[in-house]
A and B are shown apart, each in its own frame.
Chain A
Amino acid sequence: MCNQLTIQQVKDMLLHIADVLIQKEDELGEIDRHIGDGDHGTGMATGARAIQKELKEQESTSVNQVFRQSGIAMMESMGGASGVLFSSLFLALGKIEPEAPEIDVASFSDGVSQAVKDIKIRGRAGLGDKTMLDALEPASVALIENKNSTFVEALAAAKSAAQQGVENTKGYVAKFGRAKFLGERSLGYQDPGATSIAMIINEMYQFVKEEFK
């Protein structure tokens, strides 16, 4: 069955993402150093370790709960803007109705588009402001367009859209976060938050590709 992810699969997928975020700590930090203070990788790795601890130690009775546990673990461990904003992605996926032991592409896509809405309200940013939204919103659009496809097809489209979104941020002047104080000096550099989003979605894709091959 290629169109649903079980509790265990969602857990394994998030643990896989956490592993990669920890491995990529230095790479993300390097990207952040150009336009921020260079600690984005450290923040994401802190959140990733908290997710690992939570998911390995706690039972989950629905996929929603796995996402909520991950979101809360990030929010309680990371701090900073990314703590609130990245946890919003998982908390929105945790809010999908009804609570269920599996998730299909349509519900997953709805969860991600809810996350885009939540992050816009919370962070008061929009497309083109050189933030994580520049990767997440196009990915969300790609997911909705593919909501009747398989997870592999939908996430492949989302991954490409997110990567293109990261490329696009090089041409934007930062309007939010610490990079906004750089103005024109932020041009030419990709946004670290958007990079992390693209990384997360790419690893979701890699995971389902392996899982359903």
Chain B
Amino acid sequence: MKKILNQRETIITDMLKGFVKAEKDHIAVSKENDRVLYRKEKQEGKVGIVIGGGSGHEPLFFGLLGKNLADAVAVGNVFAAPTPQTVLAAIHEANQGEGVICLFGNYAGDVLNFDLAKEMADTEGIAVVNLAVSDDIASAPKEYQVDRRGIAGDLFVIKEVAAAAAKGYSLERCQRIAQECNQRTYSIGVGIKSGTNPLNGKPSFILNDDEIEYGLGIHGEPGIEKMPIVSAKDLIKKMYLALDQEIKAYVEKEVIVCVNGLGSTTLMELYIITNELIDLLENKGFLVMDTVVGNFCTTQEMAGFSLTVQILTEELKELYQMEATSPHYFHKEGY
């Protein structure tokens, strides 16, 4: 393994310390739990937004702490969900008396730990709603949408639910929006080369030079199938056809798109991919309202990418268009 680290026991704390030093005017470490970071500026009277998950996917999740974005983040070990105590501390930091909504990827570990934290918060009289993002269409068929795992679709769900909270919507309304956002968000990913787990120095999977892993998750879990590498055009077409099965039935045709790099795939490649995807969407009659391209949800230095499409409603569009600022993601209408 070739990574710039100190000893493995301090990987997470070293990283968090560096992040907080870089963002010292805006972000601080919770006194209750050093695996919790929160945004210093509080907007009173709003639903609190907690996000979180395992580490190793940076900039998710802490990179989305920001204005009209998340209020607090619960940070887990490498590829492992945060503990119930960590999530509870994040809930405390985000709580302004209007309730808290927790957004995280749909993995057994995250669901277990966030559910336990919610139970603990309930006993303290804090109203908490948990929403597990489940956008990865490769991980379960359409009939089992709620069983799907969460990948880069986290970004759109967090963006829009946080905007709803910033507008002062109630916890119930934020919850409905979160569910709707999640239902309308579809992703699929491809791995080209494994990332390395910094704790054990080992790749999470092995691929031959001419092979790709179709449908893999963001922890380096093997995907649906190994297939030979093909051109960007052919690959995006195959991925689009899978997405089209999910989105073609919608009456609404306006969409937002995220082309997410998994760590070491170049922006050059991501824009080549974007070019193909947008053509396919437009040829099918979709109107692409906005496209986000970059590394938002990564797996260390894994090479590969995911495509995310969200079908907008008028309400979601308005939420998406709200200005948002954070260390690793922003949204501004016009530049």
Binding site for B on A (CB under 8 A): 25-26, 29, 33, 35-39, 41-43, 46, 75-85, 122-123, 176-182, 185
Contacts and interface: CB of A to CB of B under 8 A. Distances in A.
B219 interface: yes
Chain B contact residues: helix, strand, loop or mixed: loop
A26 B202 CA distance: 10
A75 B120 CA distance: 14
B79 interface: yes
B241 interface: no
**Chain A CB within 10 Å — which of B77, B116, B140, B204 has the most?**
B77
Interchain residue pairs A-B with the least CB separation, the first 6: A80-B80, A81-B109, A80-B109, A37-B219, A81-B108, A79-B80
B66 interface: no
Contact of A37 (B79, B81, B113, B116): B79
Interface string B211-239: 00000010111100000000000000000
Chain A contact residues: helix, strand, loop or mixed: helix
A83 B202 contact: no
B272 to A, nearest CB: 28
B217 A38 contact: no
Interface string B253-267: 000000000000000
Nearest to A182: B222
B84 interface: yes
A86 to B, nearest CB: 11
B199 interface: yes
B84 A38 contact: no
Interface of B: 54, 76-86, 107-109, 112-113, 116, 138-140, 147, 149, 197, 199-200, 202, 204-205, 217, 219-222
A84 B83 CA distance: 8
A178 B217 contact: yes
**Chain A CB within 10 Å — which of B85, B108, B140, B149 has the most?**
B108
A84 B202 contact: no
Given A79-B109, A84-B113, A177-B108, A185 B222 contact: yes
Given A29-B200, A122-B112, 7 more contacts: A37-B220, A39-B199, A43-B80, A79-B86, A81-B108, A83-B80, A83-B113
Nearest to A43: B80
A53 to B, nearest CB: 12
Given A37-B221, A43-B77, A80-B81, A181 B139 contact: yes
Contacts of B202: 29, 33, 38
Contacts of B79: 37, 39, 80
A179 B107 CA distance: 11
A41 B113 contact: no
A36 B221 contact: yes
Nearest to A46: B77
Contact of B82 (A36, A79, A123): A79
Contact of B200 (A42, A82, A182): A42
A81 B81 contact: yes
B80 A181 contact: no
A22 B205 CA distance: 23
Contact of B204 (A37, A78, A182): A37
6 contacts: A41-B200, A43-B77, A46-B77, A76-B83, A80-B77, A181-B140
Contacts of B138: 181
B143 to A, nearest CB: 15
Contacts of A43: 77, 80
A37 B200 CA distance: 11
A84 B112 contact: yes
**Chain B CB within 10 Å — which of A37, A38, A77, A79 has the most?**
A79
Contact of B197 (A38, A123, A179, A181): A38
B77 A78 contact: yes
Contacts of A177: 108-109
Nearest to A88: B112
Nearest to B195: A37
Given A181-B139, A182-B222, A176 B80 contact: no
